Chain A
Amino acid sequence: MLIRKPDSVPGSEITPESTYVSRRRFVRDLSIGGVGLAAAGFAGANIDPPDEPLTPERIITSYNNFYEFGMDKGDPVRHAHKLTTDPWKVRVSGEVAKPGEFDYEDLIKGLTPEERVYRFRCVEAWSMVVPWLGIPLKALLQRLEPTGNAKYVEFTTLVRPSEMPGQRSLFTSIDWPYVEGLRLDEAYHPLSIMVVGLYGKTLPKQNGAPWRLIVPWKYGFKSVKSIVQIRFTERQPRNTWNILAPREYGFYANVNPAVPHPRWSQASERRLPTSLFNQNRIPTRPFNGYGEAVASLYAGMDLRRYY
Protein backbone atom coordinates (compact mmCIF):
# COMPACT_ATOMS: atom_id res chain seq x y z
CA MET A 1 0.00 0.00 0.00
CA LEU A 2 1.15 3.50 -0.76
CA ILE A 3 2.19 5.26 2.39
CA ARG A 4 2.60 8.95 1.91
CA LYS A 5 4.64 10.99 4.32
CA PRO A 6 2.87 14.16 5.37
CA ASP A 7 4.12 17.24 3.58
CA SER A 8 6.26 15.19 1.18
CA VAL A 9 4.24 16.49 -1.75
CA PRO A 10 5.42 19.91 -2.93
CA GLY A 11 2.68 22.49 -3.29
CA SER A 12 3.29 22.63 -7.04
CA GLU A 13 2.19 19.03 -7.44
CA ILE A 14 -1.13 19.41 -5.69
CA THR A 15 -4.02 19.55 -8.11
CA PRO A 16 -5.64 22.97 -8.18
CA GLU A 17 -9.03 22.82 -6.56
CA SER A 18 -10.88 23.89 -9.70
CA THR A 19 -9.39 21.03 -11.71
CA TYR A 20 -10.06 18.72 -8.84
CA VAL A 21 -13.67 19.74 -8.53
CA SER A 22 -14.37 19.37 -12.23
CA ARG A 23 -12.71 15.95 -12.21
CA ARG A 24 -14.86 15.01 -9.25
CA ARG A 25 -18.01 16.05 -11.12
CA PHE A 26 -16.87 13.94 -14.02
CA VAL A 27 -16.41 10.94 -11.75
CA ARG A 28 -19.78 11.57 -10.15
CA ASP A 29 -21.50 11.79 -13.51
CA LEU A 30 -19.85 8.54 -14.52
CA SER A 31 -21.09 6.83 -11.40
CA ILE A 32 -24.59 8.17 -11.94
CA GLY A 33 -24.50 6.43 -15.32
CA GLY A 34 -23.68 3.16 -13.63
CA VAL A 35 -25.97 3.73 -10.71
CA GLY A 36 -27.89 0.48 -11.12
CA LEU A 37 -24.72 -1.52 -10.78
CA ALA A 38 -22.67 0.38 -8.27
CA ALA A 39 -25.28 1.69 -5.92
CA ALA A 40 -27.77 -1.08 -5.48
CA GLY A 41 -27.92 -0.45 -1.77
CA PHE A 42 -28.23 3.31 -2.03
CA ALA A 43 -31.77 3.90 -3.11
CA GLY A 44 -33.39 6.79 -1.33
CA ALA A 45 -30.26 8.23 0.23
CA ASN A 46 -29.56 11.88 -0.22
CA ILE A 47 -25.92 11.68 -1.18
CA ASP A 48 -25.72 14.80 -3.30
CA PRO A 49 -22.58 16.63 -2.30
CA PRO A 50 -23.31 19.83 -0.42
CA ASP A 51 -23.27 22.96 -2.51
CA GLU A 52 -20.52 24.42 -0.34
CA PRO A 53 -16.84 24.90 -1.09
CA LEU A 54 -14.52 22.08 -0.09
CA THR A 55 -12.24 22.68 2.86
CA PRO A 56 -8.66 22.77 1.53
CA GLU A 57 -6.77 19.49 1.87
CA ARG A 58 -4.02 21.20 3.85
CA ILE A 59 -6.56 22.17 6.55
CA ILE A 60 -8.23 18.76 6.72
CA THR A 61 -4.90 17.00 7.10
CA SER A 62 -3.29 19.39 9.59
CA TYR A 63 -6.05 20.36 12.01
CA ASN A 64 -8.00 17.64 13.73
CA ASN A 65 -8.53 15.78 16.98
CA PHE A 66 -6.86 12.39 17.22
CA TYR A 67 -5.99 12.14 20.89
CA GLU A 68 -3.93 9.00 20.34
CA PHE A 69 -1.29 11.35 18.94
CA GLY A 70 -1.74 14.19 21.42
CA MET A 71 -4.21 16.77 22.65
CA ASP A 72 -3.27 19.56 20.29
CA LYS A 73 -4.98 19.76 16.91
CA GLY A 74 -1.56 19.97 15.28
CA ASP A 75 -0.33 16.83 17.08
CA PRO A 76 -1.82 14.26 14.67
CA VAL A 77 0.04 15.63 11.64
CA ARG A 78 3.20 16.01 13.75
CA HIS A 79 3.26 12.46 15.08
CA ALA A 80 1.14 10.18 12.89
CA HIS A 81 3.92 9.52 10.39
CA LYS A 82 5.39 7.10 12.95
CA LEU A 83 2.36 4.85 12.69
CA THR A 84 2.76 1.53 10.90
CA THR A 85 -0.39 0.75 8.96
CA ASP A 86 0.85 -2.23 6.99
CA PRO A 87 0.15 -4.96 7.95
CA TRP A 88 -3.18 -4.05 9.53
CA LYS A 89 -5.12 -6.76 11.32
CA VAL A 90 -8.75 -6.36 12.26
CA ARG A 91 -10.51 -8.50 14.81
CA VAL A 92 -14.14 -9.28 14.08
CA SER A 93 -16.05 -10.52 17.10
CA GLY A 94 -19.34 -10.73 18.95
CA GLU A 95 -22.57 -11.65 17.21
CA VAL A 96 -21.09 -12.79 13.88
CA ALA A 97 -21.05 -16.02 11.95
CA LYS A 98 -17.30 -16.01 11.39
CA PRO A 99 -15.39 -14.27 14.17
CA GLY A 100 -11.66 -14.02 13.80
CA GLU A 101 -8.72 -11.89 12.85
CA PHE A 102 -8.52 -10.66 9.29
CA ASP A 103 -6.24 -8.65 7.10
CA TYR A 104 -7.70 -5.24 6.46
CA GLU A 105 -6.95 -5.70 2.77
CA ASP A 106 -9.02 -8.87 2.68
CA LEU A 107 -11.99 -7.22 4.36
CA ILE A 108 -12.26 -4.49 1.73
CA LYS A 109 -11.32 -6.61 -1.27
CA GLY A 110 -13.85 -6.16 -4.05
CA LEU A 111 -15.58 -3.21 -2.44
CA THR A 112 -15.03 -0.11 -4.55
CA PRO A 113 -14.44 3.14 -2.72
CA GLU A 114 -16.64 5.97 -3.90
CA GLU A 115 -16.31 9.67 -3.40
CA ARG A 116 -18.62 11.24 -0.82
CA VAL A 117 -18.47 14.94 -0.12
CA TYR A 118 -19.85 15.38 3.37
CA ARG A 119 -20.09 18.15 5.88
CA PHE A 120 -18.05 17.27 8.97
CA ARG A 121 -19.27 18.85 12.22
CA CYS A 122 -17.10 18.60 15.33
CA VAL A 123 -18.78 18.71 18.73
CA GLU A 124 -16.45 21.66 19.43
CA ALA A 125 -18.54 23.76 17.01
CA TRP A 126 -16.20 23.89 14.04
CA SER A 127 -16.88 22.22 10.71
CA MET A 128 -15.41 21.36 7.35
CA VAL A 129 -16.56 20.01 3.97
CA VAL A 130 -14.57 16.92 3.11
CA PRO A 131 -14.30 14.80 -0.06
CA TRP A 132 -13.95 11.35 1.46
CA LEU A 133 -13.35 8.13 -0.39
CA GLY A 134 -15.31 5.44 1.34
CA ILE A 135 -17.09 2.15 1.02
CA PRO A 136 -20.69 1.79 2.15
CA LEU A 137 -20.58 0.56 5.71
CA LYS A 138 -23.53 -1.73 5.14
CA ALA A 139 -21.79 -3.68 2.39
CA LEU A 140 -18.77 -4.16 4.59
CA LEU A 141 -20.67 -5.15 7.73
CA GLN A 142 -22.95 -7.58 5.92
CA ARG A 143 -19.88 -9.28 4.52
CA LEU A 144 -18.99 -10.11 8.14
CA GLU A 145 -22.34 -11.90 8.52
CA PRO A 146 -23.76 -10.56 11.78
CA THR A 147 -26.23 -12.93 13.47
CA GLY A 148 -29.85 -12.14 14.18
CA ASN A 149 -28.90 -11.09 17.70
CA ALA A 150 -26.72 -8.21 16.51
CA LYS A 151 -28.39 -4.89 17.33
CA TYR A 152 -25.33 -2.66 17.62
CA VAL A 153 -21.84 -2.49 16.24
CA GLU A 154 -18.81 -1.32 18.16
CA PHE A 155 -15.55 -0.04 16.66
CA THR A 156 -12.22 0.06 18.44
CA THR A 157 -9.15 2.17 17.62
CA LEU A 158 -5.62 0.81 17.70
CA VAL A 159 -3.68 0.91 20.98
CA ARG A 160 0.03 1.20 20.28
CA PRO A 161 1.74 3.57 22.71
CA SER A 162 5.10 3.04 21.01
CA GLU A 163 3.77 4.82 17.93
CA MET A 164 1.02 6.89 19.50
CA PRO A 165 2.50 9.45 21.91
CA GLY A 166 -0.91 10.55 23.19
CA GLN A 167 -1.41 7.07 24.62
CA ARG A 168 1.80 7.44 26.63
CA SER A 169 0.62 10.66 28.25
CA LEU A 170 0.06 10.52 31.99
CA PHE A 171 -2.40 13.37 31.87
CA THR A 172 -5.15 12.04 29.69
CA SER A 173 -8.30 10.75 31.29
CA ILE A 174 -9.08 8.53 28.30
CA ASP A 175 -8.97 4.85 29.12
CA TRP A 176 -7.55 3.45 25.86
CA PRO A 177 -8.62 2.01 23.52
CA TYR A 178 -10.99 4.59 22.04
CA VAL A 179 -14.31 2.89 21.41
CA GLU A 180 -17.42 4.01 19.59
CA GLY A 181 -20.65 2.40 18.53
CA LEU A 182 -23.72 2.67 16.35
CA ARG A 183 -27.13 1.13 16.31
CA LEU A 184 -27.12 -1.36 13.46
CA ASP A 185 -29.79 0.54 11.51
CA GLU A 186 -27.62 3.66 11.75
CA ALA A 187 -24.62 1.70 10.56
CA TYR A 188 -26.63 0.29 7.65
CA HIS A 189 -27.82 3.72 6.57
CA PRO A 190 -26.53 4.50 3.09
CA LEU A 191 -24.84 7.69 4.32
CA SER A 192 -22.60 5.74 6.72
CA ILE A 193 -19.27 4.89 5.16
CA MET A 194 -15.95 3.33 6.01
CA VAL A 195 -13.40 5.81 4.73
CA VAL A 196 -10.16 4.70 3.08
CA GLY A 197 -9.20 7.90 1.29
CA LEU A 198 -9.37 11.65 1.16
CA TYR A 199 -9.12 14.08 -1.75
CA GLY A 200 -8.70 11.17 -4.14
CA LYS A 201 -5.71 9.74 -2.27
CA THR A 202 -4.98 7.11 0.34
CA LEU A 203 -6.25 8.22 3.76
CA PRO A 204 -3.47 10.13 5.57
CA LYS A 205 -2.39 8.60 8.86
CA GLN A 206 -3.37 11.68 10.85
CA ASN A 207 -6.91 11.29 9.57
CA GLY A 208 -7.27 7.68 10.70
CA ALA A 209 -5.44 5.41 8.26
CA PRO A 210 -5.90 2.83 7.03
CA TRP A 211 -9.64 3.15 7.61
CA ARG A 212 -12.06 5.11 9.69
CA LEU A 213 -15.76 5.55 10.09
CA ILE A 214 -17.71 8.56 8.83
CA VAL A 215 -21.28 9.12 9.95
CA PRO A 216 -21.98 12.62 8.62
CA TRP A 217 -25.08 13.46 10.65
CA LYS A 218 -23.32 12.85 13.96
CA TYR A 219 -20.64 14.85 15.77
CA GLY A 220 -17.14 13.95 14.64
CA PHE A 221 -16.17 12.02 17.75
CA LYS A 222 -18.50 9.20 16.64
CA SER A 223 -16.39 8.69 13.52
CA VAL A 224 -13.70 6.51 15.05
CA LYS A 225 -10.30 6.26 13.35
CA SER A 226 -7.67 3.57 12.67
CA ILE A 227 -10.05 0.75 13.48
CA VAL A 228 -8.68 -2.61 14.64
CA GLN A 229 -11.81 -4.26 15.97
CA ILE A 230 -15.40 -4.54 14.84
CA ARG A 231 -17.70 -6.17 17.36
CA PHE A 232 -21.41 -6.81 16.95
CA THR A 233 -23.43 -6.69 20.15
CA GLU A 234 -26.93 -7.19 21.38
CA ARG A 235 -26.66 -4.36 23.89
CA GLN A 236 -25.64 -0.75 23.38
CA PRO A 237 -21.84 -0.54 23.44
CA ARG A 238 -20.05 2.07 25.51
CA ASN A 239 -18.38 5.01 23.83
CA THR A 240 -15.28 6.80 25.05
CA TRP A 241 -16.48 10.40 25.42
CA ASN A 242 -19.71 9.28 27.03
CA ILE A 243 -17.68 7.36 29.61
CA LEU A 244 -15.54 10.46 30.29
CA ALA A 245 -18.31 13.04 30.50
CA PRO A 246 -21.81 11.55 30.19
CA ARG A 247 -23.50 14.93 30.67
CA GLU A 248 -21.59 16.40 27.74
CA TYR A 249 -21.44 13.57 25.20
CA GLY A 250 -24.18 11.06 24.52
CA PHE A 251 -24.25 7.77 22.67
CA TYR A 252 -26.28 9.11 19.76
CA ALA A 253 -24.44 12.44 19.34
CA ASN A 254 -26.61 13.52 16.44
CA VAL A 255 -25.79 17.06 15.36
CA ASN A 256 -28.50 19.12 17.05
CA PRO A 257 -28.48 22.92 17.27
CA ALA A 258 -31.28 22.77 19.86
CA VAL A 259 -29.25 20.86 22.46
CA PRO A 260 -26.29 22.94 23.68
CA HIS A 261 -23.15 21.32 24.95
CA PRO A 262 -23.01 22.27 28.66
CA ARG A 263 -19.99 24.47 27.97
CA TRP A 264 -20.90 26.02 24.62
CA SER A 265 -23.75 26.54 22.22
CA GLN A 266 -24.33 24.17 19.31
CA ALA A 267 -26.63 26.59 17.50
CA SER A 268 -23.89 27.69 15.13
CA GLU A 269 -20.52 26.53 13.91
CA ARG A 270 -17.35 28.03 12.51
CA ARG A 271 -16.63 26.68 9.05
CA LEU A 272 -12.87 26.23 8.79
CA PRO A 273 -10.60 27.73 7.80
CA THR A 274 -11.50 30.90 9.60
CA SER A 275 -9.35 34.00 9.50
CA LEU A 276 -8.62 36.64 12.09
CA PHE A 277 -11.15 38.88 10.41
CA ASN A 278 -13.84 36.39 9.54
CA GLN A 279 -15.05 33.68 11.87
CA ASN A 280 -17.15 32.18 9.10
CA ARG A 281 -19.94 31.47 11.54
CA ILE A 282 -22.91 29.66 10.02
CA PRO A 283 -26.03 28.22 11.61
CA THR A 284 -25.86 24.53 12.49
CA ARG A 285 -28.59 22.41 10.96
CA PRO A 286 -30.37 19.48 12.62
CA PHE A 287 -28.60 16.22 11.73
CA ASN A 288 -25.91 18.37 10.10
CA GLY A 289 -28.24 19.01 7.18
CA TYR A 290 -28.95 15.33 6.53
CA GLY A 291 -32.29 15.30 8.36
CA GLU A 292 -34.29 14.41 5.30
CA ALA A 293 -32.31 11.20 4.92
CA VAL A 294 -31.87 10.17 8.54
CA ALA A 295 -34.52 11.74 10.80
CA SER A 296 -36.78 8.71 10.38
CA LEU A 297 -34.19 6.59 12.21
CA TYR A 298 -35.14 8.47 15.37
CA ALA A 299 -38.90 8.71 14.98
CA GLY A 300 -40.54 8.92 18.38
CA MET A 301 -37.28 9.41 20.25
CA ASP A 302 -36.77 12.37 22.56
CA LEU A 303 -33.56 13.78 21.08
CA ARG A 304 -33.07 16.09 24.06
CA ARG A 305 -32.78 13.07 26.26
CA TYR A 306 -30.86 10.92 23.80
CA TYR A 307 -28.34 13.59 22.80
Chain B
Amino acid sequence: MQVSVRLLKVVVFMTLSLPLVWLGYAVSRELSNPGVVLGADPGEAVLHFFGDWTVRLLLLTLSVSTMRRLFRQPAIGRYRRMIGLFAFAYAVLHMLSYLGFLAEFEWRIVLEDFVDRTYITVGISALLLLLPLALTSTRGWQRRLGRRWRRLHKLVYPAMGLGLLHLLWLTKDGYAEPLLYCAIFAGLMVERLVDWRRRT
Protein backbone atom coordinates (compact mmCIF):
# COMPACT_ATOMS: atom_id res chain seq x y z
CA MET B 1 0.00 0.00 0.00
CA GLN B 2 2.68 2.49 1.10
CA VAL B 3 4.80 1.59 -1.88
CA SER B 4 2.02 2.16 -4.37
CA VAL B 5 1.19 5.57 -2.84
CA ARG B 6 4.81 6.59 -3.05
CA LEU B 7 5.02 5.32 -6.61
CA LEU B 8 1.85 7.17 -7.55
CA LYS B 9 3.24 10.36 -6.05
CA VAL B 10 6.29 10.01 -8.26
CA VAL B 11 4.01 9.49 -11.26
CA VAL B 12 1.95 12.58 -10.37
CA PHE B 13 5.12 14.59 -9.87
CA MET B 14 6.48 13.57 -13.24
CA THR B 15 3.17 14.24 -14.96
CA LEU B 16 2.97 17.75 -13.51
CA SER B 17 6.54 18.36 -14.62
CA LEU B 18 5.79 17.48 -18.24
CA PRO B 19 5.10 21.10 -19.25
CA LEU B 20 8.53 22.02 -17.87
CA VAL B 21 10.12 19.17 -19.78
CA TRP B 22 8.48 20.40 -22.96
CA LEU B 23 9.62 23.94 -22.28
CA GLY B 24 13.15 22.75 -21.63
CA TYR B 25 13.11 20.99 -24.97
CA ALA B 26 11.65 24.10 -26.68
CA VAL B 27 14.27 26.39 -25.16
CA SER B 28 17.10 24.05 -26.10
CA ARG B 29 15.87 24.04 -29.70
CA GLU B 30 15.48 27.83 -29.60
CA LEU B 31 19.13 28.22 -28.65
CA SER B 32 20.38 26.59 -31.83
CA ASN B 33 17.53 27.70 -34.09
CA PRO B 34 15.75 30.83 -32.81
CA GLY B 35 12.02 30.99 -33.50
CA VAL B 36 11.68 27.35 -34.46
CA VAL B 37 9.41 26.30 -31.59
CA LEU B 38 8.46 29.43 -29.69
CA GLY B 39 7.93 31.74 -32.66
CA ALA B 40 9.02 35.28 -33.33
CA ASP B 41 8.38 36.44 -29.79
CA PRO B 42 9.64 33.63 -27.55
CA GLY B 43 9.57 35.68 -24.33
CA GLU B 44 5.86 36.27 -24.70
CA ALA B 45 5.32 32.63 -25.64
CA VAL B 46 7.02 31.48 -22.41
CA LEU B 47 5.05 34.03 -20.39
CA HIS B 48 1.73 32.76 -21.77
CA PHE B 49 2.82 29.16 -21.40
CA PHE B 50 3.36 29.55 -17.65
CA GLY B 51 0.19 31.62 -17.26
CA ASP B 52 -1.94 28.99 -18.97
CA TRP B 53 -0.47 26.17 -16.87
CA THR B 54 -1.00 28.14 -13.66
CA VAL B 55 -4.71 28.41 -14.40
CA ARG B 56 -5.02 24.78 -15.47
CA LEU B 57 -3.23 23.42 -12.40
CA LEU B 58 -5.15 25.69 -10.01
CA LEU B 59 -8.37 24.32 -11.49
CA LEU B 60 -6.99 20.81 -11.09
CA THR B 61 -6.16 21.55 -7.44
CA LEU B 62 -9.70 22.74 -6.85
CA SER B 63 -11.17 19.72 -8.59
CA VAL B 64 -9.44 17.29 -6.20
CA SER B 65 -12.01 17.63 -3.43
CA THR B 66 -14.83 17.50 -5.96
CA MET B 67 -13.50 14.28 -7.48
CA ARG B 68 -12.96 12.89 -3.99
CA ARG B 69 -16.66 13.35 -3.30
CA LEU B 70 -18.04 12.43 -6.71
CA PHE B 71 -16.02 9.23 -7.07
CA ARG B 72 -15.97 8.44 -3.34
CA GLN B 73 -12.20 8.17 -3.48
CA PRO B 74 -10.90 10.05 -0.43
CA ALA B 75 -7.38 8.85 -1.25
CA ILE B 76 -7.13 11.30 -4.16
CA GLY B 77 -6.73 14.04 -1.55
CA ARG B 78 -3.14 12.93 -0.96
CA TYR B 79 -2.03 14.51 -4.20
CA ARG B 80 -3.68 17.89 -3.72
CA ARG B 81 -0.74 19.54 -1.97
CA MET B 82 1.62 18.59 -4.77
CA ILE B 83 -0.71 19.84 -7.49
CA GLY B 84 -1.24 23.09 -5.61
CA LEU B 85 2.48 23.62 -5.15
CA PHE B 86 3.05 23.00 -8.84
CA ALA B 87 0.38 25.59 -9.64
CA PHE B 88 2.17 28.04 -7.36
CA ALA B 89 5.52 27.26 -8.97
CA TYR B 90 4.08 27.91 -12.43
CA ALA B 91 2.56 31.17 -11.16
CA VAL B 92 5.97 32.29 -9.85
CA LEU B 93 7.62 31.35 -13.16
CA HIS B 94 4.86 33.26 -14.95
CA MET B 95 5.65 36.38 -12.93
CA LEU B 96 9.38 35.93 -13.39
CA SER B 97 8.85 35.68 -17.17
CA TYR B 98 6.90 38.91 -17.06
CA LEU B 99 9.65 40.63 -15.07
CA GLY B 100 12.41 39.23 -17.24
CA PHE B 101 10.99 39.08 -20.74
CA LEU B 102 8.43 41.88 -20.91
CA ALA B 103 9.67 44.34 -18.33
CA GLU B 104 13.33 43.30 -18.68
CA PHE B 105 13.74 44.04 -14.96
CA GLU B 106 13.15 47.72 -15.56
CA TRP B 107 11.41 48.69 -12.36
CA ARG B 108 10.03 51.86 -13.90
CA ILE B 109 8.04 49.72 -16.37
CA VAL B 110 6.95 47.34 -13.61
CA LEU B 111 5.77 50.20 -11.43
CA GLU B 112 3.91 51.84 -14.30
CA ASP B 113 2.27 48.53 -15.21
CA PHE B 114 1.34 47.87 -11.60
CA VAL B 115 -0.29 51.28 -11.20
CA ASP B 116 -1.81 51.82 -14.65
CA ARG B 117 -2.67 48.35 -15.93
CA THR B 118 -5.33 46.94 -13.71
CA TYR B 119 -5.09 43.43 -15.14
CA ILE B 120 -1.47 43.24 -14.03
CA THR B 121 -2.41 44.49 -10.55
CA VAL B 122 -5.08 41.78 -10.48
CA GLY B 123 -2.60 39.11 -11.58
CA ILE B 124 -0.01 40.07 -8.96
CA SER B 125 -2.72 40.14 -6.27
CA ALA B 126 -3.70 36.59 -7.20
CA LEU B 127 -0.09 35.46 -6.82
CA LEU B 128 0.22 37.24 -3.45
CA LEU B 129 -2.87 35.40 -2.23
CA LEU B 130 -1.26 32.09 -3.17
CA LEU B 131 1.99 32.86 -1.35
CA PRO B 132 0.78 32.16 2.24
CA LEU B 133 -0.90 29.00 1.01
CA ALA B 134 2.34 27.68 -0.43
CA LEU B 135 4.25 28.65 2.73
CA THR B 136 1.79 26.92 5.07
CA SER B 137 1.33 23.84 2.91
CA THR B 138 3.52 21.63 5.10
CA ARG B 139 2.16 19.14 7.63
CA GLY B 140 3.81 21.15 10.41
CA TRP B 141 1.94 24.33 9.54
CA GLN B 142 -1.23 22.36 9.03
CA ARG B 143 -0.93 21.06 12.62
CA ARG B 144 0.11 24.38 14.07
CA LEU B 145 -2.76 26.31 12.49
CA GLY B 146 -5.39 23.65 13.13
CA ARG B 147 -8.85 24.87 12.20
CA ARG B 148 -7.45 28.20 11.02
CA TRP B 149 -5.46 26.34 8.34
CA ARG B 150 -8.65 25.40 6.51
CA ARG B 151 -9.97 28.92 6.74
CA LEU B 152 -6.68 30.38 5.47
CA HIS B 153 -6.63 28.01 2.52
CA LYS B 154 -10.02 29.25 1.37
CA LEU B 155 -7.91 32.08 -0.10
CA VAL B 156 -7.44 29.81 -3.08
CA TYR B 157 -10.94 30.79 -4.25
CA PRO B 158 -10.32 34.54 -4.55
CA ALA B 159 -6.91 33.73 -6.06
CA MET B 160 -8.56 31.56 -8.72
CA GLY B 161 -11.19 34.25 -9.38
CA LEU B 162 -8.57 36.98 -9.72
CA GLY B 163 -6.46 34.74 -11.95
CA LEU B 164 -9.38 34.19 -14.30
CA LEU B 165 -10.22 37.90 -14.25
CA HIS B 166 -6.59 38.62 -15.15
CA LEU B 167 -6.84 36.22 -18.09
CA LEU B 168 -10.19 37.53 -19.34
CA TRP B 169 -8.98 41.09 -19.05
CA LEU B 170 -5.88 40.64 -21.14
CA THR B 171 -7.70 38.64 -23.82
CA LYS B 172 -8.17 40.71 -26.95
CA ASP B 173 -10.51 38.33 -28.68
CA GLY B 174 -11.01 34.56 -28.78
CA TYR B 175 -12.69 33.80 -25.50
CA ALA B 176 -13.02 30.04 -25.96
CA GLU B 177 -10.25 29.00 -23.59
CA PRO B 178 -10.83 31.61 -20.86
CA LEU B 179 -14.56 30.88 -20.89
CA LEU B 180 -13.91 27.15 -20.66
CA TYR B 181 -11.78 27.76 -17.56
CA CYS B 182 -14.47 30.00 -16.07
CA ALA B 183 -17.09 27.33 -16.75
CA ILE B 184 -14.99 24.67 -14.99
CA PHE B 185 -14.47 26.98 -12.01
CA ALA B 186 -18.19 27.71 -11.89
CA GLY B 187 -18.96 23.99 -12.05
CA LEU B 188 -16.60 23.26 -9.15
CA MET B 189 -18.19 26.02 -7.10
CA VAL B 190 -21.70 24.73 -7.79
CA GLU B 191 -20.68 21.25 -6.68
CA ARG B 192 -19.34 22.74 -3.43
CA LEU B 193 -22.58 24.61 -2.87
CA VAL B 194 -24.61 21.46 -3.43
CA ASP B 195 -22.35 19.50 -1.10
CA TRP B 196 -22.51 22.21 1.56
CA ARG B 197 -26.31 22.35 1.42
CA ARG B 198 -26.54 18.60 1.68
CA ARG B 199 -24.43 18.62 4.79
CA THR B 200 -26.27 21.44 6.58
Contacts and interface: CB of A to CB of B under 8 A. Distances in A.
Contacts of B104: 279, 281
Q: Is the interface of B mostly helix, strand, loop or mixed?
A: helix
B80 to A, nearest CB: 31
Interface stretch (A2-10, A81-89, A269-277): A269-277
B174 A273 contact: no
Interface in B99-117: 101-102, 104, 109, 112-113, 116-117
A198 B119 CA distance: 37
Interface stretch (A104-112, A170-178, A188-196, A293-301): A170-178
Contacts of B173: 67, 71, 172-174, 244
Contact of B42 (A72, A264, A276): A276
B176 A170 contact: yes
Q: Which of A58, A124, A264 has the most CB of B within 10 A?
A: A264
A74 to B, nearest CB: 6
Contacts of B179: 171
A276 B109 contact: no
A276 B33 CA distance: 12
A59 interface: yes
Interface in A61-81: 62-63, 67, 70-74
Contacts of B41: 63, 73, 126, 270, 272-274
Contacts of B102: 279
Contacts of A171: 174-176, 179
Nearest to A276: B42
A173 B179 CA distance: 13
Contacts of B119: 263
Contacts of A59: 35, 40
A36 interface: no
Contacts of A70: 174
Nearest to A265: B112
B46 interface: yes
A142 interface: no
Contacts of A276: 27, 30, 38, 42-43, 46, 101
Contacts of B161: none
A276 B34 CA distance: 9
Contacts of B112: 265
Interface SS of A by simple majority: loop
Interface in B9-53: 27, 30, 34-35, 38-43, 46
Interface in A131-178: 169-174
Nearest to A59: B40
Contact of B35 (A71, A170, A244, A273): A273
A50 interface: no
Contact of A71 (B43, B113, B170, B174): B174
A63 B175 CA distance: 20
Nearest to B104: A279
Contacts of A41: none
Given A273-B40, A279-B43, A263 B117 contact: yes
A291 interface: no
Please list the 9 inter-chain residue pairs (A to B) with the smallest Cβ-Cβ separation, ordered nearest first: A71-B174, A171-B176, A63-B40, A273-B40, A272-B40, A171-B175, A59-B40, A276-B42, A275-B34
Interface of A: 58-59, 62-63, 67, 70-74, 124, 126, 169-174, 244, 260, 263-265, 270, 272-276, 279, 281
30 contacts: A62-B39, A62-B40, A63-B39, A63-B41, A67-B174, A71-B174, A72-B174, A126-B41, A171-B174, A171-B179, A172-B173, A173-B175, A263-B117, A263-B119, A263-B170, A264-B117, A270-B41, A272-B40, A273-B35, A273-B40, A274-B43, A275-B42, A276-B27, A276-B38, A276-B43, A276-B46, A276-B101, A279-B43, A279-B102, A281-B104
